[in-house]
C-alpha cells in the first residue's frame, strides 16, 4: 500500500485500504483533491465577493459629508442627494475592481495548486510569467501609471460623470471615467480623451456647491447706503422666491458691501451659494434683478462699467 500511495499517504491510503490496495487509488485521490481545491477556491471567492459587496454597500449608504457643515435651505438636501449618488457610483466602481482582483488572485492560486497536484512543474511557468510581467511593466509604464492614477482618482472622488472640471489639458463636462482615461466635452462640443496619468491637477466646479457673484460698479458720489439697501432687497427677494430657494440656491445671498474703491467708482458685490454648476444661471438672474432694481431706485452704474 505504501508503494501504491507513495507521496500521498492520507487520502490515497484511505482509498487503497478500502479497495484492497487498488492501483488506481492515487489517480482517484488526485482527482478528489483537485475537486476539493476547486470547490474551496469557489467558496472563498464567493465569500470574498460577499464581503466586498457588504463593504461597498456600507460605503455607498454612509452619512453625507455635508453634515459636517452648517446647512440652511431646501437646496442643501439636493446637494446631499448628489453627494450620495456620487458616493454610490464610486463605491460600486471600486467594488467591481476589487471583485475582479479577488477573482484573479483566488482562481489563479487554485489553478497553480491544481497544476502542482498534477505534477506539472510550475516553477518555469512562474519564472516565465515573472519575466513577461517585467517586460510588460517596462513597455507599458504609461499604461500602469494611468491605471494607478485612475484608482486613486476613484478612491478620492476627485470628479465624476457630469462634473465640470479643468483637467489642465482640457476644460469641460465629464462624460465618462475609466481607470485609463477621462472623456470630456468642452463648451464647443469638442470631445477630449485625457489619460489619467497625465492629469497633474484638477479644478472641479461641480463638487459640493458652487458660488455665483456679481460686481455692481456705481459712481463715486452714489449713496452707499442706498445701493446696499437695493442689493439687500435683491438678496431677500431671491431667498424668499421658492423657484430659487428650492432648486438652485443653497443659502441666502450675501451682500459683501464695498469690494473695490477708486477715485471714480465704488464696486459692490452680491454673492450666492448655489447647487453645483448652477452658478452661471444664478449670476445671470442676479444681473437682471440688479439692473431692474437700480433703474427703479434711480441709481446709475458707473460710466464704462
Does any domain span residue 71?
yes
Does any domain span residue 226?
yes
257 and 189 within one domain: no
Confidence class for position 101, pLDDT limits 50, 70, 90: confident
176 backbone dihedrals φ, ψ, rounded to 5°:
-155, 145
Q: Which residues contact 165 (CB under 8 A, 6 or more apart)?
A: 159, 171, 172, 174, 184, 202, 203, 204, 205, 206
| CATH number, domain containing residue 276 | 3.30.70.100
7 backbone dihedrals φ, ψ, rounded to 5°:
85, -5
Write down which residue in 187, 204, 221 finishes a domain. 204
220 and 253 within one domain: yes
pLDDT in tens, 47-68: 999 998 888 777 666 544 444 4
Lowest-pLDDT choice from 19-28, 123-132, 199-208, 227-236: 19-28
248 and 222 within one domain: yes
Beta strands in the chain (DSSP E): 164-166, 171-177, 181-185, 191-195, 203-204, 210-219, 254-261, 265-274
pLDDT greater than 60 at residue 165: yes
pLDDT in tens, 22-33: 565 566 667 777
Contact criterion met (CB below 8 Å) for 216 and 44: no
Of 122 and 229, the structure prediction assigns the larger pLDDT to: 229
pLDDT in tens, 177-194: 888 889 999 888 899 999
Contact criterion met (CB below 8 Å) for 97 and 117: no
Contact criterion met (CB below 8 Å) for 86 and 204: no
Question: Whole domain around residue 190: which residue ranges?
Answer: 157-204
Query: pTM of the prediction?
Result: 0.56
277 three-class SS: coil
Does any domain span residue 128?
no
| CA–CA gap between residue 231 and residue 243 (Å, rounded) | 19
Amino acid at each position: 500500500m505504501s508503494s501504491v500511495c507513495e507521496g500521498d499517504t492520507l487520502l490515497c491510503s484511505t482509498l487503497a485500504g478500502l479497495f484492497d490496495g487498488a492501483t488506481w487509488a492515487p489517480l482517484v485521490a488526485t482527482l478528489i483533491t483537485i475537486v476539493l481545491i476547486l470547490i474551496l477556491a469557489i467558496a472563498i471567492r464567493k465569500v470574498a465577493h460577499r464581503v466586498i459587496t457588504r463593504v461597498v454597500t456600507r460605503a455607498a449608504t454612509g452619512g453625507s459629508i455635508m453634515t459636517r457643515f452648517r446647512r440652511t435651505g431646501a437646496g442643501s438636501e439636493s446637494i446631499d442627494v448628489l453627494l450620495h449618488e456620487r458616493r454610490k457610483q464610486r463605491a460600486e466602481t471600486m467594488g467591481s475592481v476589487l471583485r475582479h482582483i479577488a477573482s484573479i488572485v483566488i482562481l489563479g492560486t487554485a489553478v497553480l495548486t491544481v497544476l502542482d497536484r498534477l505534477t506539472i512543474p510550475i516553477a518555469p511557468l512562474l519564472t516565465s510569467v515573472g519575466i513577461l510581467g517585467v517586460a510588460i511593466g517596462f513597455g507599458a509604464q504609461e499604461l500602469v501609471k494611468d491605471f494607478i492614477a485612475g484608482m486613486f482618482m476613484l478612491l478620492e472622488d476627485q470628479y465624476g460623470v457630469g462634473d465640470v472640471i479643468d483637467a489642465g489639458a482640457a476644460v469641460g463636462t465629464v462624460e465618462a471615467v475609466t481607470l485609463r482615461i477621462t472623456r470630456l466635452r468642452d463648451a464647443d462640443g469638442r470631445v477630449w480623451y485625457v489619460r489619467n496619468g497625465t492629469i497633474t491637477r484638477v479644478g472641479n466646479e461641480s463638487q459640493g456647491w458652487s458660488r455665483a457673484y456679481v460686481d455692481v460698479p456705481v459712481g463715486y458720489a452714489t449713496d452707499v447706503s442706498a445701493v446696499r439697501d437695493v442689493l439687500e432687497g435683491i438678496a431677500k427677494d431671491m431667498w424668499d422666491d421658492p423657484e430659487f430657494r428650492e432648486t438652485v440656491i443653497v443659502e441666502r445671498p450675501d451682500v459683501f458691501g464695498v469690494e473695490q474703491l477708486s477715485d471714480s467708482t465704488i464696486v459692490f458685490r452680491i454673492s450666492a451659494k448655489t447647487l453645483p454648476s448652477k452658478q452661471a444661471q444664478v449670476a445671470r438672474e442676479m444681473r437682471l434683478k440688479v439692473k431692474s432694481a437700480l433703474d427703479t431706485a434711480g441709481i446709475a452704474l458707473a460710466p464704462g462699467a
